[in-house]
């Protein structure tokens, strides 16, 4: 049985994971429009992953006798100056999500809700992987550079990262 406070916090996070999925789906449309097939596929796949994160939380809340609630989800931005700016925003968003997961973990620990504490460990590990993944993308963008045909090679490198997953 979850406390009211924990249900509220977990439900807020369900909405955030939904937003993450919409954010990357919207970004994939931007990439598609720019002819960046690798980035499009990568972001599209990541949007699906985020939906998985949302479902996992959604099920957990329901399994513990509370009701999962989807809150209001704001529209994600749709304009980016460059592929570099887009992935910088992705990285910043993932760091923000990591902070939110850390807050949840701290709250579960404080309440001695060890079931939720244990459940959240999956998200802790996942955030580590995601920050690493998007740091890799930013590194590649920095190395290749966006000038000239750089964007073509960045797109190829991002598509390759998806194949390695």
- Which residue ranges make up the site for ligand OFO (CB under 6 A)? 17, 20, 50, 53, 94, 97, 126, 130
Asked whether 51 and 91 are in contact (CB, 8 A), the reply is: no
Collapsing DSSP states into helix, strand and coil, what is residue 147? Answer: coil
Q: How far is the CB of 94 from ligand OFO (least distance, A)?
A: 5
Q: How far is the CB of 38 from ligand OFO (least distance, A)?
A: 19
User: Tokens 């590194």 sit at which residue?
Assistant: 139
Q: How far is the CB of 153 from ligand OFO (least distance, A)?
A: 25
Q: How far is the CB of 100 from ligand OFO (least distance, A)?
A: 8
Q: Which one, 94 or 155, has the nearer CB to ligand OFO?
A: 94
Q: Which one, 130 or 155, has the nearer CB to ligand OFO?
A: 130
Q: How far is the CB of 99 from ligand OFO (least distance, A)?
A: 11
Q: Which one, 97 or 154, has the nearer CB to ligand OFO?
A: 97
Residue 52 to residue 17: CA distance in whole angstroms: 9
Output the six-digit token pair for 10.
């977990």
Output the six-digit token pair for 80.
């980016």
Asked whether 103 and 97 are in contact (CB, 8 A), the reply is: no
Name the residue with the smallest CB distance to ligand OFO: 20
Q: Which one, 50 or 113, has the nearer CB to ligand OFO?
A: 50
Q: Which one, 131 or 146, has the nearer CB to ligand OFO?
A: 131
Among 148, 137, 142, 145, smallest CA distance to 38 is for 137
Q: In sequence order, what are the residues at sequence separation of 6 or more whose Cβ sits closer than 8 angstroms to the Cβ of residue 106?
A: none
């Amino acid at each position: 049985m979850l406390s009211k406070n924990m249900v509220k916090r977990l439900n807020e996070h369900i909405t955030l994971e939904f937003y993450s999925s919409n954010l990357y789906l919207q970004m994939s449309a931007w990439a598609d429009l720019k002819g960046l097939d690798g980035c499009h596929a990568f972001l599209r796949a990541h949007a699906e992953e985020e939906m998985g994160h949302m479902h996992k939380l959604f099920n957990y809340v329901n399994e513990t006798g509370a009701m999962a609630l989807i809150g209001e989800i704001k529209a994600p931005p749709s304009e980016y100056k460059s592929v570099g700016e887009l992935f910088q925003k992705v990285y910043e968003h993932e760091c923000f999500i990591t902070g939110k997961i850390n807050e949840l973990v701290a709250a579960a620990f404080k309440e001695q809700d060890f079931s939720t504490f244990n459940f959240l460990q999956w998200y802790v590990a996942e955030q580590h992987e995601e920050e690493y993944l998007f740091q890799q993308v930013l590194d590649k963008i920095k190395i290749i550079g966006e000038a000239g045909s750089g964007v073509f090679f960045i797109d190829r490198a991002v598509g390759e990262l998806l194949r390695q997953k």
